[in-house]
Structure 1
Amino acid sequence: MADDPYLYYRVATFVAMYCGYTLYYFNRKTFAFVLPSLLNDVHMEKDDLGLIVSSLALAYAISKFVSGLLTDMLSARLLFPLGLALVGLMNILFSRSSSVEVFTAIWFANGLAQGFGWPPCAKILRQWFPPSQFGTWWAMLSTSMNVAGSVGPLVAAWLVPSLGWRGLMAGAGVVALGTSGMAFTVIREKPTDVGLAPIPGVGGTEKGRGGKHEGSVMALLTSPYLWLLSSSYLVVFGAKSALSDWGQLVLIQEKGHSLITGSSFISALEFGGLVGSIVAGYLSDRAVAKVGLSSQGNPRHGLLLLMMAVMTLSLTLFRMIVGPDSSQLWILSLGFTFGFCAYGSISLFGVLANEASVPSLCGTAHAVVALSANVGGFLAGLPISTVAQHWGWNAAVGCTELAALLATVAFISMRNICTTMGRVKAD
């Protein structure tokens, strides 16, 4: 580390964000983790459970958008630990409550605090890592959600019998509070905060982007590239949400398979997503390292389009080829392939939105595309289930498949438009 003054701060900042965001996600899912034990203690109807879960989802969608905007105006180093401290506090308050109304209000507040997790991480990552490494570190940081989501249920199963659901939620909140202090102490927002030079390739110095630039929100919001990213992200995230939410039911109700096959399909999809995110980041970084970034097109586009096309093909095969006699290996392979390409594409959309905008507006750019993704997630819920109710699950999958095909074709035809967002020449 003595030979590389950046390495210490990069590692320390990344580890602090990784631990912090793992706890963000764990404290977002604690209600689900302790639900069986909670229902033995507090009587609630299914509608009550849905209300509590939906309150967090709504608040999170709002907060993530607002947080992206605030990240461009306030210190990302401050917002990240502040949100984590509030998340921990909400879990502690939840553990002390017993009524549905209070549960819902607290969980809504938890959703508001949750939005202050990822946008600051995205901005800090961009400041510390050059374009040729940004995608890989972005993908690595995103695996913190997979770690919390996979380890969380095991931790809950181990601790709830001895601590109770209240003890687990309170304990998770206390750990989050403590970690927020560590994060504030360790994280540095950008190299200049510790007397180091800015990272080459960040802030308008990329190959082919020369010249001094300043940011304009209007220029960002009127950029065709921003809306190409947003609309494509909406479709891909909606397709991912649709198959991860409804794929099990499609296999059981429409294709005649067992519950075990349906559950295994979802597990294969999620595992494929974990691998796909890392591979997408690494391979796209290699492309950037080889040819650099320019204002016309982006070397990451080739991999993104390939993944979108294969994702669409896997949807087609899932709808047309899978039947009652299909082997489990074939079904799991389709699930892995879909998850690999869908999550890989999702990872690339976030990277593209951040590096195409000027650093002072990367939070706003991420907020816009993330809001589009949340709209896609919403459309994958009630609208898709309504189509399935009237015309069957195959028709619902077909609608998702058609949207993915149109988005892929649109991106192919527009991939070489100007990718700079929000930049105006300084006087």
Structure 2
Amino acid sequence: MTLLTGYAGYYICRSNWAVAKPLMLEAFKDQGITKAELGDVESVALLAYAGGKLLSGVVTDFLGGRGVFLFGMIASAVCTVMFGFAGGLTALFVVAAANRFVQSMGWGGLVQVTGRWFPAGTHGTVLGILSMSYLLGDAIAKVYLGLFARTDNWQDIFFISAATLAVVTVGCYIFLKSSPTAIGAVEPPPNPANVFGDAADGPPPSVRALVVPLLTSTTFWLVCFMNGGLTLIRETFRSWTPTYLKEVQSLSPEDASLYASLLSFAGAAAAFGTGCVTDLFRGRFGVVMAPMLAITSLGLAWLAMRPGGGSLGGLMVLLCTISFFVLGPYTLCSGVLALGLGGKRGGATAAGVIDTAGYLAGTLAGSGIGRLAEAHGWSTAFAALAGVAAGTFVITVVYALHERSRRPLVRVPVETT
């Protein structure tokens, strides 16, 4: 519960950007700042996040998950306060990049602590529940911070975010334990299918010994490519949905933020459901993910043909459906798949590299999608996303076929009588 609450707290200081963006477009329009420029800010921030993921994953496997997790929370709260004093585009670039860099410490810390607390056969369900933290955190942030969008003062949104994360950090410092040994219990064994074999239970002797087994795994690279496509789609919806709803449905900023939060609730249901189903399939993730990507592709293609979506109710049903079927597979890549590949020795590093691949592709969600929407409209933007989803579906099918020829990443012992 502490990890769930703590990582949801991270999103209070991340989703505030999406809530404040419509107000910032109004506030900075005299400076010539449009969706394209704010998209550039987000793309640079995602690059910083991707780089931070790569570094923090390795650091976490050497130093431990709890300390890195807590430090990231403190640093993000400080950066969020600085947002409120940003008076122009340059300042927004610097602060956004700094905030996303320190926020990269959160997920690797969560994965590392999880691997030490829970046995491999439950990782799908456990990480499905923990993945709800950033989906519910995103939804709660948009509802909670959307209440303050009524003030038309975008700085208040950032100050309130920072104060909220500070309170959550105190609770995590008190209650979060790094492993069962902290309370006199025994850690479970690592996933037997990880790339390190039996050595995965001990600390890494060097960076080379930590990284090389992952980089020489075909399964690992397929997961990285899948996560690239999924992250691009997910980041587009997370960042641009309030702005999109405001423009095509003429909603107020606070109402647009409220409706956008429904997508995260749909994603939270997908994370939990998909995690439970993969445990039932005993590590055969590809057969679960491929149909979901096929439905995502069809949903985005339909949205490209009807970007206005008709009625608000019909549009929200379509958006929530797409969110459900893209976020289910998304939560697997840097969660249970990363922990299955890296085990307790390299789970944070695996999650970090997989997320780095994802967020490198996700940088296009800011600058690329922002420019497409600005220059050619939302229909073209959704058509591009439909193409990304179709390409990711093909990679997922290849992964599923590869998975059939190898042992699964999670092997659940079968009880016999």
Q: TM-score range by the shorter chain?
A: 0.7 to 0.9
Match of residue 277 from structure 2: 283
Q: 1:367 aligns with which of 345, 352, 355?
A: 352
Moved more, 126-135 or 385-394: 385-394
Moved more, 75-84 or 326-335: 326-335
Match of residue 414 from structure 2: none
The alpha-carbon deviation at position 265 of structure 1 amounts to: 9.6
Matches within 5 A, 1:4-19: 15-19=1-5
Using the aligned pairs only, state the percent identity: 22
Match of residue 59 from structure 2: 70
Match of residue 179 from structure 2: 190
Read off the aligned partner of 1:65 and give its amino acid letter: L
Q: 1:408 to 1:318 in 2, by over 3 A?
A: farther
d(CA) in 1 for partners of 2:41, 2:166 = 23
Q: 1:113 aligns with which of 87, 102, 110?
A: 102
Q: 1:251 to 1:143 in 2, by over 3 A?
A: closer
d(CA) in 2 for partners of 1:109, 1:385 = 21
In structure 1, runs of 5+ residues without a counterpart are 1-14, 289-297, 422-427
Higher relative contact order (CA closer than 8 Å, sequence separation 6+)? 2
The alpha-carbon deviation at position 267 of structure 1 amounts to: 6.5
Q: TM-score, normalised by structure 1?
A: 0.74
In structure 2, runs of 5+ residues without a counterpart are 410-417
The alpha-carbon deviation at position 360 of structure 1 amounts to: 0.9
d(CA) in 2 for partners of 1:162, 1:105 = 26
Read off the aligned partner of 1:219 and give its amino acid letter: P
Q: Does 1:409 align with 2:397?
A: yes
d(CA) in 1 for partners of 2:61, 2:309 = 54
Q: 1:240 to 1:176 in 2, by over 3 A?
A: closer
Is the 1:265–1:335 Cα contact (8 Å) retained in structure 2? no
Match of residue 46 from structure 1: 33
Matches within 5 A, 1:202-213: 202-205=189-192, 212-213=198-199
Read off the aligned partner of 2:403 and give its amino acid letter: R
The alpha-carbon deviation at position 149 of structure 1 amounts to: 2.8
Match of residue 345 from structure 1: 329
d(CA) in 1 for partners of 2:39, 2:405 = 43
Match of residue 225 from structure 2: 231
Moved more, 270-279 or 208-217: 208-217
Moved more, 153-162 or 243-252: 243-252
Alignment deviations for residues 110-131 of structure 1 (CA, whole Å, 9 cap, x no partner): 1221111111011112221223
Matches within 5 A, 1:19-418: 19-34=5-20, 36=23, 44-46=31-33, 49-50=38-39, 52-96=41-85, 98=87, 100-159=89-148, 166=155, 169-199=158-188, 202-205=189-192, 212-214=198-200, 216=209, 217-241=211-235, 269-288=263-282, 298-315=283-300, 332-350=316-334, 351-379=336-364, 393=380, 396=384, 399-418=387-406
Q: TM-score, normalised by structure 2?
A: 0.76
Q: 1:38 to 1:211 in 2, by over 3 A?
A: closer
Query: Across the two proteins, how many residue pairs are aligned to each other?
Result: 389
Read off the aligned partner of 1:127 and give its amino acid letter: R
* Alignment root-mean-square deviation, CA: 4.2
Is the 1:357–1:420 Cα contact (8 Å) retained in structure 2? no
**Secondary structure of the residue that 2:178 maps to in structure 1?**
coil
